[in-house]
Amino acid sequence: MRTYTNVKDLGNLDQAIKEALEIKKNRYAYKHLGENKTLLMVFFNSSLRTRLSTQKAGMNLGMNTMVLDINQGAWKLETERGVIMDGDKSEHILEAIPVMGSYCDIIGVRAFAQFENKEDDYQEKILNQFIRYSGKPVFSMEAATGHPLQAFADLITIEEYKKTERPKVVLTWAPHPRALPQAVPNSFADFMNEANVDFVITHPEGYELDSKFVRGAKIEYNQDKAFEGADFIYAKNWAAYADPNYGKILSKDMSWTVSTEKMALTNNAYFMHCLPVRRNMIVTDDIIESPQSIVIPEAANREISAQTVIKRMLESL
């Protein structure tokens, strides 16, 4: 595997889940693969889970791991070609990327949508420059339009907890005080559309996601209706995608918060969220602390999804 940016990069999804569950049973079985190999993780944005789980995954595989926070201690990077660099940016990304590539064997990149220019975001300008100019296998640790390590961990978690062959999985928008990217819901939809689940997306009008990710998924604007019979509730906030409101907050309607009353409409569903989560905006204290909440095992599976991807990359070196 040379790149990991979306569900297609995993090939056969059942096979990938099987491999992940094998790795989970014996996570040190492939320690030889990473001997004298270096993983570089580059962060343009904050992280708790991705930083720790991906580093742990690399260490499980016997790799050396290095972390660079671009905004803390590195030079400020110019990303546009042709700019006269007389401002506060000391280095161009076109030098920085091949230099970073020269010190490592595999690169993970976190570079969120900036909500300044929809085209730049949806063309994955930063991630694609790493793919093009680093000379190394590159995986997304949440880029502008996707968070495929999260969605893969989510799928593994659903596989572990499902009680029926084809569970009903509902992705629900929920309110949040700040504008958040569409990366997590995009990738979750991307994966659920390929998985053996009955997938429904619910959000207020105006929050439609890119059709490239939604594909044939069912959209239900009435959250209560969407929750009926659900086996998994996957909550997430995102800012508007559709023009002319790209990156804007259109609603903070607290009636969309996942609460005890809302969960009562479901088939005793499990509650999922990628974290970090704002309590009593996205979900109430009661629900996130309830036995139906699987946010902690979900986060733990980030180590497994990362390890599966990095293992495949090591095998292709």
Binding site for ligand CP (CB under 6 A): 47-50, 142, 150, 274-276
List the x/- string, 136-155, binding to ligand AN0 by CB under 6 A.
------x-------------
Stretch that binds ligand AN0, among 11-19, 181-189, 218-226, 254-262 (CB under 6 A): 181-189
Q: Which of residues 184-223 bind ligand AN0 (CB under 6 A)?
A: 184
Cα dihedral across residues 97, 98, 100, 105: positive or negative? positive
| 62 CB burial (10 A radius; 0-12, 13-18, 19+) | middle
Instruction: Choose from ligand AN0, ligand CP, none: what does 58 bind? Cβ within 5-8 Å by kind.
Output: none
Would you say 39 or 133 has its CB closer to ligand CP?
39
Closest CB 291 distance from ligand AN0, rounded Å: 24
Query: Would you count residue 313 as binding ligand AN0 (CB under 6 A)?
Result: no
181: which 2 tokens?
A: 């990217």
Q: Considering only residues 181, 190, 273, 294, which one is a binding residue for ligand AN0 as defined by CB under 6 A? A: 181
Closest CB 184 distance from ligand AN0, rounded Å: 5
Query: Would you count residue 226 as binding ligand AN0 (CB under 6 A)?
Result: no
Query: Would you count residue 180 as binding ligand AN0 (CB under 6 A)?
Result: yes
DSSP string, the chain: --EESSGGGG-SHHHHHHHHHHHHH-TTTTGGGGTT-EEEEEESS--SHHHHHHHHHHHHTT-EEEEEETTTTSPPEE-STT----SS--EEHHHHHHHHHHT-SEEEEE----SS-HHHHHTTHHHHHHHHHS-S-EEESS-SS--HHHHHHHHHHHHHH-SSSS-EEEEEE---SS---SHHHHHHHHHHTTSSSEEEEE--TT-PPPHHHHTT-EE-S-HHHHHTT-SEEEEE-----STT-TT------GGGSB-HHHHTTSSSPEEE--S---BTTTB-HHHHTSTTB-HHHHHHHHHHHHHHHHHHHHHT-
Closest by CA to 136, choosing from 111, 102, 109, is 102
Would you say 96 or 274 has its CB closer to ligand AN0?
274
Q: Considering only residues 127, 195, 230, 274, which one is a binding residue for ligand AN0 as defined by CB under 6 A? A: 274
Closest CB 275 distance from ligand CP, rounded Å: 5
Closest CB 154 distance from ligand CP, rounded Å: 10
Instruction: Choose from ligand AN0, ligand CP, none: what does 107 bind? Cβ within 5-8 Å by kind.
Output: none
Closest CB 86 distance from ligand AN0, rounded Å: 32
Would you say 51 or 162 has its CB closer to ligand CP?
51
Would you say 104 or 174 has its CB closer to ligand AN0?
174
List the x/- string, 275-294, binding to ligand AN0 by CB under 6 A.
-x------------------
Instruction: Choose from ligand CP, ligand AN0, none: what does 183 bind? Cβ within 5-8 Å by kind.
Output: ligand AN0
Would you say 78 or 190 has its CB closer to ligand CP?
190
